[in-house]
Amino acid sequence: MTSNSIPSIDLSDFTSGDPLRKAAFVNSLGQAYERIGFVALKNHGLSQELENKLYAQVKAFFNAPLEIKKKYEIEGLGGQRGYTSFGKEHAKGSLVGDLKEFWHFGQEVTDGDPIKEEYPENVIVEELPEFNKIGMTAYKTLENTGRSVLQAIALFLGLDEHWFDAKIHNGNSILRPIHYGPITHEPKTAVRAGAHEDINLITLLMGASADGLQILTKQNEWVGVTALPNQIVVNVGDMLQRLANNRLRSTTHRVVNPPHEKWNESRYSIPFFLHPRSDMRLDCLKSCIDENHPLSYAPISAGEYLDERLKEIGLK
């Protein structure tokens, strides 16, 4: 990861029990999210073995014949679970479908929480017996990592360390394996996924299989980001930016097409979009509002905001 793009920080500093290391992590994370909205995270808890197993399952699914994949594209779910085929999703404000197909693993509620009624069941892939088990193991691992990151963010914003905990418990998070297929003819656009900001609180991205991710800096320059081994990329989403009244940045990013000589290569990527429960309020924190930073957003719940955004990107 280029040193001039996003900073690298170590989650073990936050969980070490050392107050000085913990405070330094909180400060480094917060400053990075104020400045650029992205960090690279070490010691995040997702083992290389689990990541490798997940990528193997994901590649096996996306390499299956289309008639098998289409079995798992469930009408009426708005893409919340299962398979979504090429071109269905587009960036907000764009009419061109992204050059990708993807799968959604969603929350599985096991503690009797009535919020279970809000969520569709995960779709089971019959042809790959380990697909769902490995996918949900990665889901829960990244959910735990995200909880720690949000605890650090809470401290940076002057909140109680566990302010987010109940709000994300059994939250509407999504693990999304993505396949950007080989480019077989001159594309309508130079990007596989159009410039956009993520909807959720934070996104945790394990290493993609090929280059292509770029972020837009404050200098209005596109900078490439590639995860180093044993790191994941964690960025601010629009829900968190809204809650913090723009103190933390949800940075625009995109996935560009590869050079012509690599058009025949697929690209795989697996982001975890950490969402809260639908009833969480995204009303701007009073501590983030002052004369120099007037209120920027109207009150809204996470569920209302998500529904609004899913319509804008073509999934509902």
Query: Digits of tens for pLDDT over the chain (316 positions)?
Result: 343 468 899 999 999 999 999 999 999 999 999 998 999 999 999 999 999 999 999 999 999 999 999 999 998 877 889 999 886 654 555 545 567 899 999 999 999 999 999 999 999 999 999 999 999 999 999 999 999 999 999 999 999 999 999 999 999 999 999 998 887 766 666 566 678 889 999 999 987 545 778 888 888 888 888 667 789 999 999 999 999 999 999 989 888 877 777 777 788 989 999 999 999 999 999 999 999 999 999 999 999 999 888 877 766 6
- Domain ranges, residue 163: 8-312
Residue 209 lies in a domain: yes
For residue 272, give both structure tokens: 């975890």
Going through 202-283 in order, the beta strands assigned E by DSSP cover 202-206, 213-216, 222-224, 231-236, 253-256, 267-274
Residue 171 lies in a domain: yes
Facing residues of 281 across strands?
Answer: 301
| Cβ(265)–Cβ(280) below 8 Å | no
d(CA 316, CA 311): 5
Q: Which of 216, 203, 171, 210 shows the shortest CA–CA distance to 271?
A: 203
pLDDT at site 88: 63
Q: Where residue 98 sits, what CATH number does that domain have?
A: 2.60.120.330
d(CA 167, CA 273): 15
Q: At what angle do helices 131-156 and 19-35 cross, to 10 degrees?
A: 90
pLDDT at site 162: 98
- The predicted model scores a pTM of 0.91
Angle subtended at Cα 232 by Cα 106 and Cα 247, rounded to the nearest 5 degrees: 85
Facing residues of 84 across strands?
Answer: 102
pLDDT at site 183: 75
Q: How many domains does the chain have?
A: 1
pLDDT at site 5: 62
Residue 215 lies in a domain: yes
d(CA 97, CA 99): 6
Phi and psi for 280 in degrees, rounded to 5? Answer: -65, 135
Residue 2 lies in a domain: no
Residue 1 lies in a domain: no
Residue 99 lies in a domain: yes
For residue 10, give both structure tokens: 């170590």
Residue keyed to tokens 């798992």: 72
Helices (DSSP H) in the chain: which residue ranges? 11-15, 19-35, 48-62, 66-70, 131-156, 165-168, 238-243, 302-312
Tally the C-alpha atoms within 13 A of residue 163's C-alpha that lie toward its C-beta. 16
Facing residues of 301 across strands?
Answer: 281
Q: Which residues of 272-290 are buried (b: 16+ CB within 10 A; e: fewer)?
A: bbbbbbbebebebbeebee
pLDDT at site 93: 55
d(CA 182, CA 114): 43
CA–chain centroid gap for 3, Å, is 22
Residue 3 lies in a domain: no
pLDDT at site 267: 85
Residue 186 lies in a domain: yes
